[in-house]
Structure formats: C-alpha cells, structure tokens
Chains A and B, each alone.
Chain A
Amino acid sequence: MSAVIEELHHDGHHHGPDKGIMRWVFTTNHKDIGTLYLWFSFLMFLTGGVLALGIRAELFQPGLQIVQPELFNQLTTMHGLIMVFGAVMPAFVGLANWLIPMMIGAPDMALPRMNNYSFWILPFAFGMLLSTFFMDGGAPNYGWTFYAPLSTDYAPPSVTFFIFAVHMMGISSIMGSINVVVTILNMRAPGMTLMKMPLFVWTWFITAYLLIAVMPVLAGVVTMMLMDIHFGTAFFNAGGGGDPVLFQHVFWFFGHPEVYIMILPAFGVVSAIIPTFARKRLFGYDSMVYATASIAFLSFIVWAHHMFTVGIPLAGELYFMYATMLIAVPTGVKVFNWVATMWQGAMTFETPMLFAIAFVILFTIGGLSGLMLAIVPADFQYHDTYFVVAHFHYVLVPGSIFSIMAAVYYWIPKWTGNMYDETLGKTHFWLSFIGVNVTFFPQHFIGLAGMPRRIPDYALQFADWNMVSSCGAFLFGFSQLLFLFIVIKCIRGGKKATDQVWEGAHGLEWTIPSPAPYHTFTTPPTSMKEAHG
C-alpha cells in the first residue's frame, strides 16, 4: 500500500519488498500482512455495510418495499457474519501484525509463514460464504447466531458451505492468535518485561488467549450441526435425546468471549491514544492490565445471559445475572482510568483523540444498556427486541469500529510517512459520530416499545424512529467513503510525518523512522526508557 523505503543494507539479510502483485501473495513480512488484513477488513466492512443499508432501506417505512422476507433474513444473517468475522476481527489482527513487533522490539512475528497462511485463508473463506447468495435456497438465513434447529432441520442447503467457511475462519483465527501469543512471549526485546508492555500488546495477548480457547468450541458446534444435518446425529434434536438448547450453550460459550475478542484490542488502542493527546502517562497501568485479565476470565462464565428466556433453571438465571453484572466492575475501572488520564491533561483534539473520546462515552452507553439486559426480569421484556440491537451496535460500532478508525488515524503517519488531512479527518469523525447516534439511539426507543429484531416489516407505531434510524444509517455508511478517500490521499502524499509523529507519543514504534522501514529491529533495541506507553 505504501511506498516503503528500503533500509540500509548493513548485512545481507535485509531485503526490501518484492516488486509486483506476488509480493502480497508470498509475503512473510508482518507489515505487508498487516496491510493485507486491514484492506481485506475494509472491503468486508463495505460489503457488510451494503447489506446493512439494504436492511435499513427496507425498514425505512412499514410494509414490504424492497426485499422479500426470505432475502431480508439472508441480509441480517450475512451482515452479522461478515461484520464480526470479516470486518472487526481481521482489522484487529491487522493492527496486531503491524504494531506488536514494532512495540516490543521484535524483527517480525514469531512464525512468519504461518502468518501469511492465516491471512490468505480468509479471502477463500469469505469467497465461499458470499457464494451462498447464488446457491439454491439462498444464503444463510438463520441469524448470525445460527440457532438450531433453524440452522439444521430448517436450513437451506448452503448451510454446509457456511459451516466450512466458519471452519476456515476458525483455523485462520487460531493460527493468527498462536502467532500473537508466541510473539509476545518469546520475541520481546531485552528489558521489555511483561509489565512494561504497551497496553495494546497486553490486550492482544489476552485476546489471543481467548481466541485459542473459544474458536475450537465454535468449530465443535458447527461440526455438531454438520453431523446433525448430514449424518443423522441427535445433538440438537430432542427426538433423539439431544436438546436444541444445547446448541445455544455451546454457541454462547464461544460467543460471549467472542464479544470481548472484539473489544479488548479496542481498549488497548484507546489506552494508547488518550495518554498521547492528554500528554500524561496512562492512569493506573497495572490496574488496566488486571482489569483486562478479569474481563477475559469473567467472559467464560457468563454465557447463558444470552439465553435467559429459553427456560434455564432459576438458580442458573440468578447465577448468570450476578456474574454478568460483575463485569461492570473491571470495565468501570477502565473507564475511570481513561477519564483520570484526561483529567488535567494538556489536551488537544486531533482525529484519533476525537474517536477515542467518542469511544469512551458511547461504549459506556453500550455497557450500561448491557447492564440493563443483564437483569433477568428486565431481559424478559427486552429479549429479541431492537433494544438488544441498539445495545450491541453501541459497543461494536462506536466501540470496536471507532477504535479501529482511531488506530488507523493514529498510526497511519507511521505506516505511510505522511500525515492524513486533519480537516477531512475531523469531518469524517463528526459525520460518523452523528450518523452512528442517529442510527442506533432511536433503536433503544423502538426496542423498549416492543419492536422485535430480525423482521422486515413492523407495526405503524414504530415508523417514525425507524425512518430516523435509516437516515442515520445512510449518513454513517456513505461517510465511510470519505474515510477511504482520506486513507488513499494519505498513502499518496501529504505533509511528511516526523519519527515521533505526535508530540506526546511514547513507545518503541515512535523511535523508528516514518514510514517504518520494511524490516525493523532485526537486532533488538537496547534502550527501554521510551517503551512504557
């Protein structure tokens, strides 16, 4: 993507990038692979976004205008799958690839060939998933959570390819995470002790652990589906002594840690950006590490809060309610620390900082609606309504996605050697900020009023706020074309970035030239005094 300069050849092992397209296919370089992940993720973000706009266009007014219910179900399902597995997760893996070796003073990721493999599985997996739109019976239509028996007895034939696509994504994630864990455990420069690592590295370390622990469980649950569909097993069929609710238990044992997989690296990004633009050290570094680890631990023991209405025993409902509410404690520690970092700081509001502050505020809104959903009797009302949709879009869009955008603005001068256009960046921020809130805030109201999720048509009393929400969605969606323009403009040129880029930035990645040379830290750095973010 960028005109990466070649480093001085002080020994025979320093190569610049190859010429031509095959550079990207054969590369083992963590920066190239990071770039591939980020562009792939952006492509999937636009694909999933187009599907979302299809949904919002249909919901602009009551009645069926644009798509039939069958296609509508495919749109919601594929939107969720593509955004979760194709947009958010690969974007964070891309950031991990670019940044972790530079942040810990490593020459590359620990297992470079496997790194390439982790990426190149993904285009094949999503090619297979998207091809289901053109198959008999259409694409998956059972929601991104693919509950049995909707996804087994009543699924279209394309479910087989959905299952194999998920297997491929899982293989990619597991290999990618093993690479991250091994890099962090084994490749740190001398003096970079664990408690000196930047928080982005810490949060990814914990995220990678979560991925290795739960992606195999996802592989397990889709394998059970495959066997139920094609080989007559009875996992999710009560007629054979199985239980459809078993599907939900296994799925959410994966699914809840998955939610934190999509937010913990975002915590790391925000913990890097806020200190830079507040020009203060991060408040409570140690407590941030422990809070992240606590959130990760709790994520394994709260899964059934997604299932309060399926009829689990009362003791189970109580346990999962209280365990879920416990997560608010370490999350509160994090929000407190971010605010305390900004407190009395010499703040400036460049684009990454705007996205980071919006993250803190809007993610907190999503967290608080999550607390409402955790209360069992309240959840009986909110379950499967637009309130749930509003809740998880608040943590995923102005949460995960905003943090990814913040990260791109924050580190793109290091990647390309050029500053992005600040005016355009701020315009992009405000358009996105307004678009997101106009889209998702009204969904709280229609959800509390009783509008169910995943339906193409609705009662008249929900019409006004749905129209508002659809307008916001189109504003947010088309604003992302501006983001694409800003990124391309920055790659092609602009004000030259200094090595440190940001006046308040600390950490090893800011000690190397901008743009970062093709190979960095082939011998480990000696000075760690800049290391502590």
Chain B
Amino acid sequence: MSAQDAYEEYYVPHNSKLPIFASFGIFLTLYGMGNMFNEMKAGVDSSFGELVFMTGSLVMGGTLFAWFSVVIKENQEKLYSNQMNRSFVWGMSWFIFSEVMFFAAFFGALFYVRVFVVDWIGGVGERGPSNMLWPEYQPHWPMLNTPDPIRFPGAADFVHWWPLPFVNTALLLTSSVTVTIAHHGINEGNRKKLVTWLGFTVVLGLIFLCVQAYEYYHAYTDLGLTLNAGIFGTTFFMLTGFHGAHVTLGTFMLAVMFFRALKGHFSKEDCFGFEAAVWYWHFVDVVWVGLFLFVYILGT
C-alpha cells in the first residue's frame, strides 16, 4: 500500500489496439491448427489449415512483439509507478503458479498410472478383478509392452538416466547459477558481468535443447520409444516435451533480456523484465528436477 502523501499516478493507457489483434491472432492460430489436425486425420490433402495457422502465428507473433515493445518503451519513459511495478511482480508470480498447475495435471496422470493403473490392469489390487479384457497381460513399470500391441506397439527400451538426462540436469542447474551471477552483475552495476553470464545462460539453455532433441532422436530410432508406444511413451514424451517447450520459451525470454542488456537496459532499481525471465527460468529448472526424479530415475 502506498501511503497517501506518496501517491503516484497509476498508469492506465487510454485505449489499446494490441489486444484485439492478439485475440484475432490466437483465434487464427488455433483455428488453423484445428483444421491441420483434422485434415491430417481424415487424410485430406489441403493446405487451408496450414495457411490459416501460418497467418495466425504471424499476427500473434507480430502483436506480441509490438505489445512487449510498448511496455518496455513505457517503462523506459518512466510512466510506471512503483505500484505499477508491483502489479507486474504479482502478475508474473500468479502466471507461474498457473504453469505449475498445468504441469501438476501431467505429473498427476503419471502418478495415477504408476500407483493404480499398472496393478489394476494386471488383475491385481482392489479394482484388479474388474479387468476382464486382457487376462493374460502381465504389466510392470516401465510399461514397455502394452495390452493392445496392435494399436500401441510398445518399446524396446526406455531412456536411462545416465548419461544424457544427467548431463541435462547438470546443464540446467549450472544455468541457474550463471543467471544468478548475471543478476549480481545488475546489482553491482557491472554490465560486462551481466552480459557475459546472461549470454552463458542462453547458451546453456540452447545446449540443453540440443541434448533433449538428440535424446528424442535416440528414443525414436534406437529404442522404438515413440509417442504412441503406450502409456510410458505417452507420459515420457508429454512431460519432457512440455518441459522442453517451456525451456524454449525461457531461453527466448533470456535472449530478449540479453539484447536488452546490450542496449543498456536494467538497473538495480528497475530490472523486473529481467527478474521475470529469471523466475521463469528457475521454474523450468525446478520442473526439470521433478522430471529427472520421477520420470528418469524413479520412473524407470
């Protein structure tokens, strides 16, 4: 709460053309994607969906670029009061909380399958006797063979936690340290330190993504572990895939902050854009630790 005598004007833009373009952009993107998926499934040869999707992505990308540019510009013009900055802080925190809940749904699915489904589908446990479809089926985790191998072919092996996932864990944990050093750079007013260590962090993020891509390639070609291999492939690729998508976004955010740092943005008092990206980065880091533990080590 700001005290009455210290009241600063709260900046409310009079109007904005950005949101309607963003609404239209997200609509086109998703409508195009829906058409793409349905055309793919129906085996229809049409580029309508792709065209709408590409248009939507361009509108959305352009609008987001313009939107963030406007916010950065307004911030540089000192239009934002301390109270406004607190709104951004709270907003980002609650956004990250919503992301936590998104991952919770997928982790929840994994735990439910591990704890209940594996037993029940093999005829064991309280609901076991209700399984009458596959009386011969012997499940165990990781579930590399499935009850219905025609539709879900299963896999030869799973991805072992050593070496690739372990290397990735080291990469991400190191990146959390480097980004903290960059943050110290801002606090000390040392731009060279900021730029160097932030650059390191972005590179570590990119290496992580390359290792992850290689791991997927290895799983598909050498192990036969695919998205439709059954529930193990499902949970493995969905959890690590969504995490990878978030690392991509986080790396992009840090890269933006890197270029802003080069342009001379950020001071000890005013660096929330940077901090928001760092929070996001720590969030994907924590999710990875959960993945490493529950998907790679305890999950296999």
B117 and A241 contacting across the interface, CB-CB below 8 Å: yes
Fill in one digit per residue for A224-263: 1 if any B CB lies within 8 Å of its CB, else 0.
1011011111110111111100100110010000000000
B90 and A311 contacting across the interface, CB-CB below 8 Å: no
Distance in angstroms from B118 CB to nearest chain A CB is: 8
Interface size on A, as a range, is 35 or more
Known: A234-B146, A234-B234, A241-B113. A313 touches B102 (CB 8 A): no
A187 and B152 contacting across the interface, CB-CB below 8 Å: no
B102 and A216 contacting across the interface, CB-CB below 8 Å: yes
Interchain CB contact (< 8 A) of B117 among A18, A243, A312, A522: A243
Cross-chain pair count, CB within 8 angstroms: 235
A232 and B228 contacting across the interface, CB-CB below 8 Å: yes
A233 and B19 contacting across the interface, CB-CB below 8 Å: no
- Tell yes or no: B106 within 8 A of A by CB: yes
- Tell yes or no: A505 within 8 A of B by CB: no
Fill in one digit per residue for B17-31: 1 if any A CB lies within 8 Å of its CB, else 0.
111101110110011
Task: Tell me how many residues of B have a C-beta within 8 Å of chain A.
Answer: 75
Known: A28-B13, A164-B34. A250 touches B109 (CB 8 A): yes
Select the stretch in A90-98, A113-121, A318-326, A330-338 that faces chain B: A113-121
- Tell yes or no: B223 within 8 A of A by CB: no
- Tell yes or no: A284 within 8 A of B by CB: no
B101 and A214 contacting across the interface, CB-CB below 8 Å: yes
Give Cα A188 to B98, complex, Å: 24
Distance in angstroms from B282 CB to nearest chain A CB is: 18
Distance in angstroms from B119 CB to nearest chain A CB is: 11
Give Cα A114 to B233, complex, Å: 37
Chain A residue at minimal CB-CB distance from B97? A212
A26 and B16 contacting across the interface, CB-CB below 8 Å: yes
- Tell yes or no: A181 within 8 A of B by CB: yes
Interchain CB contact (< 8 A) of B91 among A107, A178, A187, A235: A178
A107 and B10 contacting across the interface, CB-CB below 8 Å: yes
A112 and B12 contacting across the interface, CB-CB below 8 Å: yes
Task: Report B's interface with A, CB cutoff 8 A.
Answer: 1-4, 7, 9-10, 12-20, 22-24, 26-27, 30-31, 33-34, 37-38, 40-42, 67, 83, 86-87, 90-91, 94-95, 97-99, 101-102, 104-106, 108-109, 112-113, 116-118, 120-121, 126-127, 130, 133, 139, 143, 146-148, 151-152, 227-228, 230-234, 237-238
| A-B pairs with beta carbons under 8 Å apart, 9 shown | A111-B87, A160-B34, A178-B94, A186-B83, A217-B105, A232-B152, A253-B105, A522-B9, A524-B4
Closest 8 CB pairs of A and B: A232-B228, A220-B105, A239-B148, A241-B231, A240-B152, A117-B19, A216-B102, A124-B27
Task: Report A's interface with B, CB cutoff 8 A.
Answer: 13, 15, 18, 23, 25-29, 106-108, 110-114, 116-117, 120-121, 123-125, 127-128, 157, 160-161, 163-164, 167-168, 171, 174, 177-179, 181-182, 185-188, 190, 212-217, 219-221, 224, 226-227, 229-235, 237-243, 246, 249-250, 253, 311-314, 519, 522-524, 526
